[in-house]
């Protein structure tokens, strides 16, 4: 029980402080299970002299990465800096130095997952990244291990807490700017919330999940991404009337997980209308949830806090425990790169979805017929048309379409926009979560 | 890639057939990940000559367990017989013969978990049991591994599909008998559904989850258990009016996961009223969901199908994969017995809950005051009193109590029942899922 496994911590921001807190409380559970104690020996920070308001011995803080990378007593490195510049460099060096690496870095794993996993394999060490998606929600390990008997058909999730918080508040009647300000005040959204709002954070996460689910590499840049800035309270109100909630959804589907020589992947992030009866519709505020569909297991959902200091640290510490356990058994773990497929990603205009459309048109007889003709010409079938408010001769009309190729829908909307009877195509929101 | 890891399958019922189906489709995912193929070499059945309507070679069926236990080529045994008689005997023998064991057997793990896990450890093999709770929902591995950095405060779940189906149907207006008959017609409930209805199935599952969550052995017999037979459509109607759903809930709490010398556990199965805003309230039909609260990760929920051939087989196959991976790396797994605590289980009369009470009383002035006095004498505080229907001079009154020790509540109800103004105490249902 007196054995110690030394850890080097790279970064002492929100997540790093949580990791320090959990590791330094010296868990009897970990000690009993591991037969050893985890200990943070050194922490890399920019300025060791900075006042942190935490009980951390001054001599374990360093601004020199070599104090960690060159220390053979440090067998595991936890990277919680984020980004793909310095973090990537340090992870590469740690792996090359024969240290196992635990990371919470979604950008790193989404953009360079293959490279760092391969480097880990070549150096005979572990690279674990449970914390990179959904914070403490166990999802990477379950997808990689617990569902190995399945062919995964779909992964679909609310993986960004900031946008879910904003959309939840808008659903409760707040305006977009007000909801964003509250998210910032509560610390959910950064001062520059662009990464969240534009869907880039979610794109990195679904790239990671899709790569695991389909054993085929998907990078963040491969993911079609549309943010939530275009969603109005009117859309949310009409969605609710029609029995839907509006969520920023990350979607990954495989059109033929087996049976075809070359399946295509469909991976995207965008606002979506989800039936209120779907479990994802009930995921409120800053919570995350990931819905997985496998051909044996059916539908699964994993729900929890998707961000925050201790929830993220919970996943980092579990990975540290597993990496330490592997070290003590002298094995590498099971989480190497599993992308043995190289499947194409479907261009967005080839993806089929149902759509909610909000269109403003002149309120005159024959107008609906003209609109319907444009849709018909582009093979867009409508499932319902509801005329809403009319003011100053302009009617708001909500259309719900059948499944249609996005390219056809875009062509129809472009033609409509050119008609003088159309005051504007106000929004087009994909519908997800129905029966496939 | 030509390596084969041979498996012996004990049992070919609903789950066994699913395991055969998944293993025999010869998954490229497993083969790529494992560098070997899983193969079922022998299946133990009662009658090998029975017609099964499945494409299974006749020569792999056997009625003689020695064909599996004595075959050194068979390195892993999957037990899907169930129960604690023959299944326990065979698991013991397989472990003693140096084979790793994967089991879907909740009774075995709840009643003899410690014994078989210790036997596995002594024989240097794995014993895995993900399929024993929640079928294909990953919960055992996440609790054991992904949450190791947490002190778990609470595990709470809907872990029996049959009773959840019946209560969902009753919520939709069906009577109890009608809902049970539909569950039986759909194959959810056995012809003798007592194990489900009386909560015994759920008790075995929460015993397993509690043992892992609190690292302290809980057996099925330690779990206070109350079934759903006493729930009426009236209770469900009043629950909904008050903002609750009625669910058969399995609950495990630790009153002081740390900080006290000797915490006490609270482990029980009973119908409960859950606020409609709680994620568990939305779990419908035969679905299962397990809610976990840890001091770092916060609230998590795992949702999915809790029974069925392929969902259960999904978990068995994942465990077979992991056991095979451990064999190929010559290590034992990480899932040994972790019950290093020996915490007491609180007697039910010491457990504090809020209660919903449905009482029939004479509809006369002063009656409520008399009832309130009895409650007050036993230190039962009321949070609301609502008089419902009155017929033939008898009023239905619904009381909601504050948190109260169950012993006190029972004493109050006994005194009330003896009063001549009381026509009957019709039901007492615990309320769960509020803020602790």
pLDDT in tens, B294-344: 999 999 999 999 999 999 999 999 999 999 999 988 876 555 788 989 999
Looking at the structure, tell me whether residues B209 and B194 fall in a common domain.
yes
Residues of chain B short of pLDDT 50, as ranges, are 1
Which of B130, B299, B338 is facing A146, going by the closest CB pair? Answer: B130
Percent share of chain A, pLDDT over 90:
85
Looking at the structure, tell me whether residues B194 and B87 fall in a common domain.
no
> What is residue A334's predicted lDDT score, i.e. its pLDDT?
55
Q: Is B119 helix (H, G, I), strand (E, B) or coil?
A: helix
Query: How many structural domains is chain B composed of?
Result: 3
Q: Do the Cβ atoms of B161 and B307 come closer than 8 Å?
A: yes
The C-alpha atoms of residue B203 and residue B224 are separated, in whole angstroms, by 8
Looking at the structure, tell me whether residues A313 and A393 fall in a common domain.
no
The pLDDT tens digits of the residues spanning A8-19 come to 999 999 999 999
The pLDDT tens digits of the residues spanning A389-403 come to 888 999 999 999 999
Helix axes B161-171, B176-185, angle to 10 degrees: 130
Cβ neighbours of residue B158 closer than 8 Å, sequence gap 6 or more: B164, B247, B248, B249, B250, B280, B283, B287, B288, B289, B290, B306
Looking at the structure, tell me whether residues A299 and A358 fall in a common domain.
no
Asked if residue A186 is part of any domain, the answer here is: yes
Looking at the structure, tell me whether residues B131 and B179 fall in a common domain.
no
Any bridge partners for residue A287, and if so which? A305
Q: Do the Cβ atoms of B305 and B162 come closer than 8 Å?
A: no
CB contact under 8 A, B298 and A311: yes
Residue A335 pLDDT class (50, 70, 90 cuts): low
Looking at the structure, tell me whether residues A236 and A179 fall in a common domain.
yes
Q: Do the Cβ atoms of B128 and B322 come closer than 8 Å?
A: yes
CB contact under 8 A, A318 and B282: no
Catalytic residue among B106, B205, B247, B253: B205
Laid out side by side, the sheet with B4-10 consists of B61-62, B37-44, B4-10, B74-79, B100-103, B127-128
CB contact under 8 A, B215 and A29: yes
CB contact under 8 A, B32 and A338: yes
- The two structure tokens encoding residue B115: 């014994």
Q: Do the Cβ atoms of A141 and A130 come closer than 8 Å?
A: yes
CB contact under 8 A, B141 and A146: yes
CB contact under 8 A, B151 and A298: no
Rounded to the nearest angstrom, the gap between the alpha carbon of residue B140 and the centroid of all alpha carbons in its chain is: 12
Q: Do the Cβ atoms of A206 and A249 come closer than 8 Å?
A: no
Which residue of B121, B124, B149 is the best one to mutate when testing the A interface, meaning the one whose CB has the most A CBs within 10 A?
B149
Residue A318 pLDDT class (50, 70, 90 cuts): very high
The C-alpha atoms of residue B20 and residue B39 are separated, in whole angstroms, by 9
Q: Cα dihedral sign for A188, A190, A192, A194?
A: negative
Residue A101 pLDDT class (50, 70, 90 cuts): very high
CB contact under 8 A, B136 and A298: yes
**Does residue A190 register a pLDDT over 90?**
no
Looking at the structure, tell me whether residues B254 and B159 fall in a common domain.
yes
Across A384-388, average pLDDT: 90
- A and B: number of Cβ contacts within 8 A: 179
Looking at the structure, tell me whether residues A235 and A179 fall in a common domain.
yes
> What is residue B1's predicted lDDT score, i.e. its pLDDT?
45
Looking at beta carbons, which residues of chain A come within 8 Å of B340? 32
Cβ neighbours of residue B391 closer than 8 Å, sequence gap 6 or more: none
Q: Which of A105-114, A133-142, A342-351, B50-59 has the lowest mean pLDDT?
A: B50-59
Looking at the structure, tell me whether residues B115 and B146 fall in a common domain.
no
Whole-structure pTM value: 0.95
Q: Do the Cβ atoms of A108 and A95 come closer than 8 Å?
A: no
Asked if residue A95 is part of any domain, the answer here is: yes
Domain CATH number, residue A68: 3.40.50.720
Looking at beta carbons, which residues of chain A come within 8 Å of B301? 301-304
Looking at beta carbons, which residues of chain B come within 8 Å of A338? 29, 32-33
The C-alpha atoms of residue B189 and residue B196 are separated, in whole angstroms, by 7
Domain CATH number, residue B191: 3.30.360.10
The C-alpha atoms of residue B227 and residue B126 are separated, in whole angstroms, by 35
Looking at the structure, tell me whether residues B284 and B322 fall in a common domain.
no
Full domain range(s) for residue B363: 350-431
Domain CATH number, residue A377: 3.30.70.260
Asked if residue B343 is part of any domain, the answer here is: no
Looking at the structure, tell me whether residues A20 and A126 fall in a common domain.
yes
Looking at the structure, tell me whether residues A171 and A300 fall in a common domain.
yes
Q: Which residues of A are marked as active site?
A: 205
ipTM: 0.94
Asked if residue A314 is part of any domain, the answer here is: yes
Asked if residue A143 is part of any domain, the answer here is: no
Asked if residue B335 is part of any domain, the answer here is: no
Asked if residue A269 is part of any domain, the answer here is: yes
A295: nearest CA in chain B? B310
Asked if residue A335 is part of any domain, the answer here is: no
Looking at beta carbons, which residues of chain B come within 8 Å of A315? 146, 297
Looking at beta carbons, which residues of chain A come within 8 Å of B322? 145, 334
> What is residue B56's predicted lDDT score, i.e. its pLDDT?
94
Q: What's the CA angle centered on B140, arms B137 and B141, to 5 degrees?
A: 95
| CA-wise closest residue to B314 among A258, A301, A146 | A146
Which of B30, B301, B334 is facing A304, going by the closest CB pair? Answer: B301
* Distance in Å, alpha carbon of A310 to nearest chain B alpha carbon: 5
């Amino acid at each position: 029980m007196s054995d110690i496994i030394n850890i080097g911590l790279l970064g002492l921001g929100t997540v790093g402080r949580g990791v320090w807190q959990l590791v330094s409380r010296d868990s009897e559970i970990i000690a009993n299970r591991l037969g050893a104690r985890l200990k943070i020996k050194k922490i890399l920070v920019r300025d060791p002299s900075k006042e942190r308001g935490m009980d951390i011995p001054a001599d374990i803080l360093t601004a020199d990465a070599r104090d960690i990378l060159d220390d053979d007593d440090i067998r595991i490195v936890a990277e919680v800096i984020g980004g793909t510049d310095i973090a990537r460099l340090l992870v590469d060096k740690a792996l090359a130095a024969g240290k196992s690496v635990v990371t919470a870095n979604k950008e790193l794993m989404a953009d360079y997952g293959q490279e760092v996993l391969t480097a880990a394999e070549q150096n005979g060490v572990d690279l674990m990244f449970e914390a990179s998606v959904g914070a403490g929600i166990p999802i990477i390990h379950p997808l990689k291990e617990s569902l190995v008997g399945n062919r995964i058909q779909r992964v679909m999730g609310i993986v960004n807490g900031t946008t879910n918080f904003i959309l939840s508040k808008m659903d409760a009647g707040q305006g977009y700017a007000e909801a964003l300000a509250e998210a910032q005040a509560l610390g959910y959204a950064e001062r520059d919330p662009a990464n969240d709002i534009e869907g880039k954070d979610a794109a990195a996460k679904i790239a990671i999940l899709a790569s695991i689910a389909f054993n085929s590499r998907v990078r963040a840049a491969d993911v079609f991404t549309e943010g939530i800035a275009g969603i109005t309270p009117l859309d949310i109100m009409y969605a609710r009337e029609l029995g839907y909630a509006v969520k920023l959804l990350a979607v990954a589907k495989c059109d033929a997980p087996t049976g075809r020589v070359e399946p295509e992947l469909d991976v995207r992030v965008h606002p979506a209308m989800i039936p209120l009866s779907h479990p994802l519709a009930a995921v409120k505020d800053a919570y995350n949830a990931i819905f997985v569909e496998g051909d044996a297991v059916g539908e699964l959902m994993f729900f929890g806090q998707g961000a925050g200091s201790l929830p993220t640290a919970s996943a980092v510490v579990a990975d540290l425990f597993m990496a330490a356990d592997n070290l003590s058994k002298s094995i590498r773990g099971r989480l190497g790169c599993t992308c043995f497929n190289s499947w194409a990603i479907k261009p967005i205009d080839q993806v089929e979805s149902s759509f909610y459309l909000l269109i403003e048109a002149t309120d005159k007889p024959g107008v609906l017929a003209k609109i319907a003709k444009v849709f018909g010409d582009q093979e867009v079938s409508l499932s319902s048309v509801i005329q809403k408010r009319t003011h100053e001769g302009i009617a708001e009309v909500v259309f719900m379409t059948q499944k249609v190729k996005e390219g056809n829908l875009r062509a129809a909307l472009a033609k409509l926009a050119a008609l003088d009877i159309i005051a504007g195509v106000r929004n087009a929101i994909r519908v997800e979560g129905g029966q496939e």
